[in-house]
Amino acid sequence: MILNTPLTEAFGLRLPVLAGGLMWLADADYVAACAHAGIMGFVTAASFPDPKDLKSEITKAKRLCGDKPFGVNVSMLPKLVPGEKTADIFKLIADEGVKAIETSGRNPEEYMEQLKAQGSFVIHKVPSVRFALKAQSIGVDMVAECGGHPGLDLIGTMVNNALALERLQIPFLIGGGIGHGAQISAAISMGASGVVMGTRLLVAEELNAHRSYKQALVDATERDTALTMHTVRNTIRTLRNETTDVVAKLELENPEIGFGGLRAHVAGTVGREAYETGDVSRGMLSAGHALGLTDNIEPMAEIILRLEAQAEAAASRLSKATHAHS
């Protein structure tokens, strides 16, 4: 299947799919699996807080990816990447020859002059179109819907897609619950340049996480997620477990609880243990409605081939429906 969009043309991708940055999980092995399957992934800078370690991981990714593209995700949430280091991280990424940078967490405006000067291609993640408009105004190259962090507006993907088509001039990508090739074709037909996937790709064999963690995602359904952390203006969709139940109760009982009151439960290190041990009962484990479509642990290339076949079948259905009435 040939899909030409601003995303595939910018990076020479086979399918217009970005594998969004995954905290603790998106490493060189993961982005290489994405690259060789024909999509693009992002090493998460916050997973490698020591610049030497980040540089080493980028070097490894370059070796594993060969001539195929990958990017680096920089979460600008102060608790992940301290503000004073962000500019240094952007410089390190450019110095290592990586062009694509995925920014998230907050407005990257203060860094745009530097990013443009160093020749970076900036894809900024947003929860809804009102933030995409701001990102467009400061000069980012592309915006992507951040499905796992739907913000406070909680506007659905279908609506965000239509609004983006009407209101944006720059290319945009749709994310949130995307786990089937038909959704890729639908997004393209609605004007998107591609999609962002997270949950659907977490069951790839190449992901460096415990097999029991992946099996838990296979066993879960689209009904097994929870939205929490709205009280700290950072709504997140995760796998429902003991931690999400506790956090939801705390937020309900005390809407003014603040991040400090939640920290012991939502700290990334708690979730990291789940990836290492396979015990998914604790931690904020990012996962979306695409859990209903994660049906098997298999190589990344196999997942992408299935998505491609599904996208092709969807495009064929649309073509037949169009011709039937022409």
How far the first Cα of the chain sits from its last, in Å, is 24
Report the chain's C-alpha Rg in angstroms: 19
What's the confidence (pLDDT) of residue 82? 55
The number of beta carbons lying within 10 Å of the beta carbon of residue 219 is 12
What's the confidence (pLDDT) of residue 326? 57
Q: Give the pLDDT confidence of 281-320 residue by residue, as tens digits.
A: 999 999 999 999 999 999 999 999 999 999 999 999 998 9
> Could you state, in order of their start, the residue ranges of all structural domains in the chain?
6-201+296-324, 211-289
Burial of 111 by CB count in 10 Å (0-12 exposed, 13-18 middle, 19+ buried)?
A: buried
What's the confidence (pLDDT) of residue 1? 67
Please identify which residue in the block is written with the tokens 């076949």. Answer: 309
pLDDT < 50: residue spans in the chain = none
What's the confidence (pLDDT) of residue 178? 96
pTM beyond 0.75: the answer is yes
What is the domain class of 6-201+296-324 according to CATH?
A: alpha beta
What's the confidence (pLDDT) of residue 269? 82
In 3D, which of 322, 208, 215, 216 has the Cα closest to residue 272?
A: 208
Rounded Cα–Cα distance for residues 168 and 177 (Å): 22
Calculate ∠ Cα 30-41-57, nearest 5°. 55
What's the confidence (pLDDT) of residue 325? 62
The rounded percent of the chain whose pLDDT value lies above 70 is 96
